[in-house]
Structure 1
Amino acid sequence: MEFWKIDRILLNFLEEDVGFGDITTESICRGERAKAVFLAKEKGVCAGLDFSIRIFQLLGDVKVIRAWEEGKEFKKGDVLLEIEASAEVLLKGERTALNLLQRLSGIAFLTREFVKRLQGTKTRLLDTRKTTPGLRYFEKYAVRMGGGTNHRFALYDMVLIKDNHKRIAGGIGEAIRRVKERIGPAYKIEVEVESLEELEEALSWKVDIVLLDNFSPQMVREAIKLIGGRAEVEVSGNITLDNIKDYAIEGVDYISSGSITHSARWLDISMRVL
């Protein structure tokens, strides 16, 4: 995304919090300059610190003294950021900058935990479109910082035929036929299948990727044999930290999980004026 577009979104975030002005800060501050640190209260993975810094910069002149590396793990007590600016800039930007950093670092940390479970396999972790409205770019960025891989960003950059598409078209074959008729080979076609019978039908239409939805590990193994390398394979549905390794079977290219974005816990990070 272009920098000016990111700035526009960040300015909207500030507008939500600052609005017509910070009546407390503007009443107290008298032009003082101050230093502040972002302090980690628990372990995590850094994601979004650059956006947090930019939030302060949009409010005024800021000197960055030190900053943690994006994608790097941190522990309780680590100083993630030290900056110097006017006290007014620091206090006005504090909550917005922290909210974004806490949210994105939480996603990166949970993603990293999932990725660690896949070490030693050839399977990659994918995110989904189950993101907070208005935060998709940032949350998918956090997934990358955690070591995950982005699936399609939105509805316009890839074909994914799901259960409701099949119902509307009257079947999986007709849904695929309509897509191929409309767009030809311009985009990869992925089809969600819920049974081995649907899988066979999808493969007969020479799709690029099949998504095995809510298959058991044993069913995944049967599906892999049936596919025989004719399409890439994604597995999804009720994937957890406890069972993800069971699905990282030879032949599974991707495992997708919406939980890494929609269920990630905010991390505890605070700002302290020195």
Structure 2
Amino acid sequence: MKIVVTGANGQVGYCLQQQLREQDFDFVALTRSELDISDTNAVNTCIAELKPDVIINAAAYTAVDKAEQEPELAYAINRDGPANLARAAKTVGAAILHISTDYVFGGDASGSYREEDEAAPQGIYGQSKLAGEHAVIATNDKHIILRTAWVFGEHGNNFVKTMLRLGSSRESLGIVADQEGGPTYAGDIATTLIQIVKHYASGNPTIWGIYHYSGAPHISWFGFAQKIFSAAEKTKLYNKAIPQLNAIGTADYPTPAKRPANSKLDCSKIEKNFGIKPSNWGAALENIARYS
């Protein structure tokens, strides 16, 4: 089973490389400088040469606010890139595993979003990611689209690192308390993707399609920040007092792109079909120093 990983320098791509290497997989990990997935000819040439059995696309344009000013670039990476990979994968008979986002939903649901619920992204980022889902589905029958949320890890930029950085220099922080979701450890996303690859490689029937995978329990950004600093305090990560955290509303922190108030994903389908449980983000915060 030969695997190609795109977006190798991202949060999930970094973890995928580590885990695939530890488990002795035959894989090639490609950064954006090595493969621009929006370049159709480059993708076709690369995949034709490597002839993988599975492509895991961890490449994405993830600058949610900046996407409002760069829609062409966001669509090139988040829509055209996955379309190119899915088409090239089909040409060599490969499956494609593609990472998507909770931001494809509007955020006005009362409960957790299921895979079949109507998508209604509020901004360019979510719209471009949804377009990428549609492109993959239309191009390659052997696809898994893994929607996830609030990703954090040791590598790259994320909310956990931002909180630790700001907390080291400020006495108080205002954190949005009226948006809820499931923080998801990048290492758990990588583990999930590899588990799906193993399932497919073993010859077991694979139910292709869209799956939700995120962390539990659901929590607000404010609540998540409280847990982050609680973990930091236990490990004496700071030589100063933990900053005071103040709960604020979305209206108090306006951003160029609208965020869904409800980012809660129902992850029962992936547990039923693959035996994969939600990410335990609390356990991932226990060694908080690794994010600093």
**Alignment TM-score, normalising by the size of structure 2:** 0.27
**Alignment TM-score, normalising by the size of structure 1:** 0.28
